[in-house]
Chain A
Amino acid sequence: MKKHITAFVVLALTLTTTFANSSNNKNDVNKRVETSFQKEFSSAEQTSWSRVNDLYKAQFKMNGQVMFAFLNEEGKLVGVYRNILSTQLPIHLMSQVKEDFSDYWISSLFEMAKDSETSYYITLENGDHQLVLKSENSTNWSVYSRTKK
């Protein structure tokens, strides 16, 4: 399961900025996955399916917001995420980005949920580095990865 969560985070980080090799054929989704999704997100609207590696990805709207859920072949929800604006971050997270990383720009920002855990991932860049920060407590960031360009 841990492997799937890690894969999901990596996918979410990648898919927010690039397109993955995916297909959009609804018939590819097995009944178990679809039933599980409907049970989990009964208020989902405008759902479309694609396949990303060994996971099923559902794009849908809930309360007018676009979200993405990943489920495995057994129909188990691996995670759900949505892209957000920095103004949608909890105040302490937004303040820390503005204070501590004022010389970086934001290249992606998303909220990820799994079971009853909510976390935020932000990708920051400057001319030299790409930095991914993660917050699991909605109050502080920690460095998830740092890459030299």
Chain B
Amino acid sequence: MLKKNSKLIFNIFVLLLFGVAAVFYWNILASLLAGIVFAFILNPAVSYIESYGVSRIISIVAVYSIIILTIFITMIFVIPKVITQGESIFSFINQSEAVQNVMGSTPKVDKNTIQVKTNPIINIYMNYDKKQERFVIDGSEQIINKPKEEIIELQEADTANIAPLTHSDSLKNGSLEKFMEIPILAQVIDYVNFIDDKLTFVDITDEFKKVVEGLKEEIVQVPMIVISNVKKIASTFAFVFMIPLISFFILKDKNLFSKMFNRFIPNRFFELYITITHKISELVSSFLRALLIEIFIVAVLTAIVLTIIGVNYSILIGLLAGFANMVPYFGPFFGVVFAIGSVILTGQDISMIFYVIFGMWGVQIIDNNIVYPIVIGKSTNIHPLYVFLTVVAGGTMFGVLGMIISVPVVYIVTEISKEMYSSLKKYDII
């Protein structure tokens, strides 16, 4: 009796300890989970190298080196292209004069906002003319030819330099015209003007201009948001660097952690625990690996097809389509929508849309009939309605990330439940 009571007290103590630990480590829980997922993905590669008689630590270091090398090569060859494509979208919508101009177009803003907007670092960013690759420092377009040397001077020149520029009306109107040169906007404006002519009693054009101005202001906020959230960005970097560190130790001492958990399992459930953990780890790691490979292949294929067709921003769209492909049934449509959006927004030939649809369809045929069966092996067999509901629920709970991740997570949880049920049956527990 005494022994039973003391065991109960000890169990309560252990539970309390777990509770305190959960509260204490709550902030790094996300990094820990990401680290575990990363370790799951890498484990087979580490084991493969280990099977050649190499020690586990050296195998882990080798796998890490391969990953770093791959990232490095990607950074050299692919990332610059992606960045240029992303940047050109940004500068297409919002060239540097437009950025400068919004500051002048908002006379109603209060003093605090002006202080933020006239921050010297932002001024440098805003005064940089991407087209001419030079710094514009005032409204009369006086140009500095040696930008690098003048950066410090620009930093010192705070509101004084920007003052004449903020009240330049000619630049303000010029930027609005450029903004309205975007093909889709131009078409909309034509349509608005047409309605405006017909309905003389309503002044739509002015209202529309106000909306466009508002939109432009939102875009200009982007660099400011980046600067005012330096702390958050730094913590994100810390999060990203913690993941490889955590997964390194999980990979190295995999058996140690498994042994530690094993001590808490009663003898009756010991074999069941081993069966279930093995099946879960095998399922999760193979599924995650397959998903990564599929994303990579679909992204590369889409980028190649779109480049051949001649769609602008093909690599960027390829990457987006690869990630969107994680969602079965609906994911591929996102890729098509991105590509069509690019064709329309950049004013390319409308007939190109058909080529895009056929090209992306081809990618899907390859993915569904060659890549998916080889990489994932068996069909995930989730009903389209279930997928749709999961995507919507994930979207409302966690936004875009939720939409993408919810389906794989739900699939894994369903499969684990199935495995657990069959194992419990085999051991006569249920």
Q: Is this pair of chains taken from one and the same complex?
A: no
List chain A positions with a Cβ less than 8 A from chain B.
none
List chain B positions with a Cβ less than 8 A from chain A.
none
